[in-house]
Amino acid sequence: MPNIAVTFRQEITRLARREIRSQTQGLRKASAQFRREIAGLKRRASALKSEVTRLERRVGADAAPQITETDPAKIRFAAKGVIAQRSRLGISAADFGKLIGVTAHTIYKWEHGTSHPRRAQLSAFGSIRRLSKAEALARLEQIREKAPKRRTLKR
């Protein structure tokens, strides 16, 4: 006849394992589901990265402003000059930024003297100095045509 303590210990171990299995089964299923979702998200991110590189290659140099100035060190920059160029062309800060390749907020910061353009931006700024109002508007129209259409969400 087996010892009652040994039998009692075996029964407790069996019940504890059964209870642990029932408690962790939900966690195992959730963990497996999360792993599948993570793998799917990684595949989606990879596909999106490859699509971005494909689109960047297709757009290529067309998205960059045409820069005719060769030496940005020779271009002088002043906040008043940005204001003067923008008012001469009669365009908004957002449109002026599109011509140069920066945001409207950057143009705002340049006009108020809180920041200065980088070399590439300075070169683009120098090339815009020679544009007439009609040429600037034509270039803006080209930029708008090449930009992908944004989808609007229906609410």
Which of 131, 81, 133, 132 has its CA nearest to residue 107? 81
For residue 76, tell me if it sits in a domain.
yes
> pTM for the complete prediction?
0.49
Residues 45 and 88 grouped into a single domain: no
Domain around 79: 72-146
pLDDT at 118: 87
For residue 152, tell me if it sits in a domain.
no
pLDDT at 24: 92
pLDDT at 149: 65
For residue 87, tell me if it sits in a domain.
yes
Q: Which long-range contacts (CB under 8 A, 24 or more apart) does 140-145 make?
A: 140/91, 140/95, 140/98, 140/99, 143/98, 143/99
Q: Along the 155 residues of the chain, how does pLDDT read in single tens digits?
A: 578 999 999 999 999 999 999 999 999 999 999 999 999 999 999 999 999 998 888 876 455 445 454 566 678 888 898 899 889 999 999 999 988 889 999 999 999 989 988 888 888 888 888 888 888 888 888 888 877 666 666 65
Structural domains counted in the chain: 2
